[in-house]
Structure 1
Amino acid sequence: MPSALNTEGSIDLLSRLLFQGYSQGFETPAGDLRPVYPDIALLAGLPQTAREELIAVASKHHVLVRALRVVRTAAAELGETRLAGWSAAVLDKESARISHAIEALGPVCYALEAAGCHATVIKSLDHMPDLGSDLDLYTSGDAETVVEVMRREFNAQTEERSWGDRLAGKWNFSVPGLPELIEIHVRYLGQTGEHQAMARRVIARSVAKILEGHAFRVPAPEERIVISTLQRMYRHFYFRLCDMADMAALLQNRAINFAELRRAADSGGIWPGVATFLLLVSQYVQQYGGEAPVPDAILAEAASSKISVQMRGDFLRVPMGPAASLYASQLLAAGKNFDLRALTRLPLLPPLAVSALVAYRLTGSDKGIW
C-alpha cells in the first residue's frame, strides 16, 4: 500500500472517481460504486498528509466536491467510517467557502447591472457544485464604470495588470473579506481581446441560474464551450479535470445545440479549435470509463484525430503542434471575414507567448506578462 500519491497519481485517481463514480451528470454519486472501491481502500490506507496532497490537487482542478462526494458515499458503504468522516469534514469546509463566495458575488452582479453594465458569470459557476479559485465575470459595460462601481460599492482594490490583461480588457479586483479575486472581462473575449462578435453572444444568449437565493446570468451551453475552448486551446494549452467533467455533463445531458455551437465558433473563426476541444474531452472521459458523446461529424473536423492530452506537471497538457495550427486557422478566418480587430490583435499573441516563456524560464513565473 503506497504511503503517498504524486500529482499524476492523484489526477489518475480523481479521474476514476469522477468518471466511474457518477452515472450521468455530477449531482449524485452512482448507485453502484464498486468500480471505485479499490481507490477507496487505497485512500483509507493513506496517512493524513498524503490525503491533504490529494485535496490540493483536487482543489487545483476544481473537482474537490464532486470527487469527495463519491469518496464519502463509497467509504460509508465499505464501513470505512474514518475516511467517510474525514471526507464529510472537508466537504463542509469547502461548502462554506463556496457559499461565502456566492453571497459576495450576487451583490457585485446587481451593482454592475444597476450601473448599466450587463454582467454574466463565466467559467466560475460552470463547475458547480464546485467553484474555481477566482470569480469570473464578463460585462458589456465600459471599463471606467466597472472600476468605479467596484471601488465605490465594494471598496475593491485593482490588482496589477499584466500585458495580456491590458490587451484582453481584463481587470482583477480584491474585495475585503473575500479570499477569491473577482476577474472581470470588459467588452471583449480572447487573450488579446480579439473577439467582439462572440462576446456579444455571451450577454445576448445568457440564461438564468439561481444559487443561494441569488439570480445570476450565465452563458448558454454553446457559449460555455466557446469560452472554455478559448481558454484551453488558444491560451493556456492545458486542461483541468473540471473542464472534462463540466463538458461531459453537458454532453451526457444532451444540452448542446451543435448547429448553434457552430455558429458561435464560426463568428470568431475557432470552429476547428472547438471540434478539437470536444474530441479531447470525449477521449479522456471514455478513457476512464465515462461517457461524453460527440457526433462523429464534429470529431472529424478536429485539427487531428491522433491528438490527446498528456498528463504532465500539474495539468493535462495540449500538444503544441496542433495548437499552432489552430492559431493559424483563426488568423486566416479573421482575414476572410475582414475582422480588423482580430487582424490587428492576433499577431501580438506569438511575441506575448514567447515573452511569457522567457520570463518563466528565467524567473519561474510569467507574472506581469501573461
Structure 2
Amino acid sequence: MTDPGIEKAHIEALSALALTPRHCPAAQRYAADLPAAERARFSALTDSHHVVLRALAPVRDYAVRCRKSDVAEWADKAIAAEQLRIQSALKHLHFICCELEAEGCPATVIKSLDHWPPDLGNDLDLYTSAGERAVVEVMRRRFGAALEARSWGDRLANKWNFRIPGLRESVEIHVQRLGQTGEHTRLARRFITRRVTREVGGYRFLVPAPEERVIVATLQRMYRHFYFRICDVCNTARLIEEEAIDYSELERAARLGGIWPGVATYLKVVADYAAKYREVELPLPPPVAQAALFGAGRIYVKDKFLRVPMLPEGARLYSSEVTTLAMKGDVPATFRLSLLPPLASMAALAYKVTGSDKGVW
C-alpha cells in the first residue's frame, strides 16, 4: 500500500505535468528522480488518470536534456506502448461505430475521446438510442463479442459491457439511459440529437456536443464515483479555455435533469483545481459560480484519486436531484433514484468484505 504522503506528492506532480507541461520543472525533476520501483507506481498512476502521454512526455524531455538515459528509456517505453494501444483502440472503435450505425443503432462515443489529444480512455464508452436486443445482437454477430456479467447497478442503468477478441479495452454501451440508476432518458436523447462530428487519429467519430460532454462528466464524477481523475480537469479546462461551452444551453439541459447544482459545482472544482497549478483563473460566468455548492478546496487525495466528500456534499447533490425530478412529476426517475442509497450501502459492504464492489455497482 502506498504511503498517503507519497501518493499525494505523486498526484501533485502528475497534476503539474498534465496541466502545465511546458512550465513544470519541479514536477519533471520529481518524476525523473524517483527510484525505479516507485517509477512503476507513478506510471500506473498516469494510466489510472488517463494522462500517460500528457504526463510522461515532459518527463522524457527533461530526462533527455539532463542525460538521464534510464529515465528517458522508461518514459519512451511507456509512451510507445500507449501510442500502440491507442492506435488499436481507435481502429476498433471506428469499426464498432460504423457497424452499429449501419445496423440502425445510432451511437455516440462518450467520455473515451474527451482525452484526445493526445490520450484515450481505458474503456470504450458509447451511448445509443437503439433497443438493447438490437445492440447485443449486433455486437455478438459482427464482432463475436462476449457479454460481461452485469451488476445490479449495470441493470438499473441499462449499461452493457462487451469483450471483443483482439481488443484490450472493454466496450461499454449505455442503452437509452444515463445516470447511476438510469434515471435520465430525456437528457440522454440529447446525446444523439445534438451529437457532432470529430476527427481523432485519422478517423471520424460522432461525439457529444460540449454541453453534453460536461453533463456526462458531471454524472460520472459528482453523482456516481465521487472522485475526479486529473484528465477530467484537463479535458474540461480545455473546453472552458476554448470558450466551447454555451452556458445558457448547458444550464437549460442540466435543469431539465435536475443536476444544475452538480454541473455548476463540477465546473467550479475544475476551474479552481486548474488555477492552482496554472496560477491563472479560468473564466466562469456568474450563474455558474452562484450555483456551485463548493470548489476544489473540498477535494482531497485518497486511494489514487481526487475525492469528493460523500457527506454532506454528495448527499446534498443527490437530494437536490431527487427533489427536482419529483417536483417535475418524473415518477420513474424518482423511483429509480430511491434505489440508490441501499445499492450504495450494499456496494460499500461488498468492498469492505471482498475489496471489490463490482457485483453490486
| TM-score tier after normalising by the smaller chain length | over 0.9
CA contact (8 A) 2:13 2:30 kept: no
Deviation for aligned residue 1:263: 1.2
Mean Cα deviation higher: 221-230 or 301-310 = 301-310
5 Å-filtered alignment, 1:95-174, equals 95-128=83-116, 129-174=118-163
Distance between the aligned counterparts of 1:211 and 1:280, measured in 2? 28
Letter in 1 for 2:326: G
Deviation for aligned residue 1:339: 1.5
CA contact (8 A) 1:209 1:218 kept: yes
Where 1:279 maps in the other structure, the secondary structure is: helix
The change in CA–CA distance for 1:93 and 1:306 in structure 2 (over 3 A counts) is closer
Deviation for aligned residue 1:52: 1.5
CA deviations 1:71-105 (Å, max 9, x no partner) are 22333344445433432232111100000011111
TM-score, normalised with respect to structure 2: 0.94
Where 1:230 maps in the other structure, the secondary structure is: helix
Letter in 1 for 2:346: S
The change in CA–CA distance for 1:200 and 1:178 in structure 2 (over 3 A counts) is same
Q: Residue 330 of structure 1: which of 312, 321, 325 is its match?
A: 321
CA contact (8 A) 2:129 2:192 kept: yes
Q: Residue 181 of structure 1 corresponds to which residue in structure 2? A: 170
Deviation for aligned residue 1:344: 1.9
TM-score, normalised with respect to structure 1: 0.92
Q: Residue 315 of structure 1 corresponds to which residue in structure 2? A: 305
CA deviations 1:190-234 (Å, max 9, x no partner) are 011100111011111111112233221011110000001000111
Q: Residue 185 of structure 2 corresponds to which residue in structure 1? A: 196
Q: Residue 257 of structure 1 corresponds to which residue in structure 2? A: 246
Letter in 1 for 2:335: T
Mean Cα deviation higher: 295-304 or 186-195 = 295-304
5 Å-filtered alignment, 1:1-370, equals 6-21=6-21, 30=22, 33=23, 36-128=24-116, 129-289=118-278, 291=280, 292-304=282-294, 308-320=298-310, 321-370=312-361
Letter in 1 for 2:87: S
Where 1:288 maps in the other structure, the secondary structure is: helix
Deviation for aligned residue 1:136: 0.3
Letter in 1 for 2:12: D
Distance between the aligned counterparts of 1:187 and 1:344, measured in 2? 17
Where 1:192 maps in the other structure, the secondary structure is: coil
The change in CA–CA distance for 1:290 and 1:201 in structure 2 (over 3 A counts) is farther
Identity %: 49
CA contact (8 A) 1:122 1:138 kept: yes
Letter in 1 for 2:92: A
CA contact (8 A) 1:65 1:94 kept: yes
The change in CA–CA distance for 1:307 and 1:7 in structure 2 (over 3 A counts) is closer
Q: Residue 27 of structure 1 corresponds to which residue in structure 2? A: none
Where 2:278 maps in the other structure, the secondary structure is: coil
Letter in 1 for 2:348: L
Deviation for aligned residue 1:342: 1.0
Letter in 2 for 1:218: V
Aligned alpha-carbon RMSD (Å): 1.8
Q: Structure 1 regions of 5+ residues with no counterpart?
A: 22-29
CA deviations 1:231-270 (Å, max 9, x no partner) are 0111111111111111111111111110011011111010
Letter in 2 for 1:263: R
Deviation for aligned residue 1:340: 2.4
Letter in 2 for 1:8: K
CA deviations 1:287-345 (Å, max 9, x no partner) are 22254332233112112468521111211110111111111111111122111221221
Mean Cα deviation higher: 93-102 or 5-14 = 5-14
Distance between the aligned counterparts of 1:297 and 1:191, measured in 2? 26
Q: Structure 2 regions of 5+ residues with no counterpart?
A: none
Where 2:40 maps in the other structure, the secondary structure is: helix
Where 1:300 maps in the other structure, the secondary structure is: helix
Distance between the aligned counterparts of 1:133 and 1:250, measured in 2? 21
Where 2:291 maps in the other structure, the secondary structure is: coil
CA deviations 1:109-167 (Å, max 9, x no partner) are 11111111100000000011111211100000000000000000000000000000000
Following TM superposition, the consecutive aligned residue runs of length 4 or more in structure 1 with deviations greater than 6 angstroms are none
Q: Residue 25 of structure 1 corresponds to which residue in structure 2? A: none
Mean Cα deviation higher: 247-256 or 44-53 = 44-53
